Amino acid sequence: MNSLLDVDRLVAGYYTPTGVLVTVTGVTFNIERGEIFAVVGESGCGKTTLAAAIYRILKYPGKVFHGSITLDGKDLLQMSEDEVREVRMKKISYVPQYAMDALDPVTKVGDFMRRALAEHGYPSDNMDELILEKLKLMRLPERVINMYPMELSGG
């Protein structure tokens, strides 16, 4: 396929003292560039396991038992840790549940964004212009650049 992300017949779960607990059972979907996609379900149904598998942070006792995860035509499950590290934050990101609790409460949103851009080699002279452009894409007001994490909604 020519999708941005293809997940095909993914089976993942956890080794437990009483056996294997499968929490992701044969999940298949694809996401096209520019598409908005959501995973919705009850607590404990496997949403976090699915996300962790895609982002390659599912560690023992968790395991992907079957299937494939392809990002931009490259099989994430076959990549080395170094290759996966290159992909993270450049092509794919993971925002965990309760992420707002992980942010420094005395650092403004704009400062977080400037730091991320600097780490990816963006020149500092037009960072604020780029940040405002990205805020607009997310339909967030310009004032967010000067807000603190606690001033934002976590939902």
**Per-10-residue mean pLDDT, the chain, length 155:** 89 97 97 90 93 95 98 95 87 74 85 88 89 92 92 73
How far is it, in rounded angstroms, from Cα 38 to Cα 53?
16
pTM for the model stands at 0.71
Angle at 131 between CA 35 and CA 123, to 5 degrees: 115
User: What integer pLDDT is reported at residue 24 of this predicted model?
Assistant: 97
User: What integer pLDDT is reported at residue 100 of this predicted model?
Assistant: 65
How distant, in Å, are the alpha carbons of 8, 17, 33, 74 from that of 3? Answer: 12, 38, 7, 11
**Biggest distance spanned by C-alpha atoms of the chain:** 57
Kindly list the domain boundaries of the chain, sorted by start residue: 5-87, 99-151
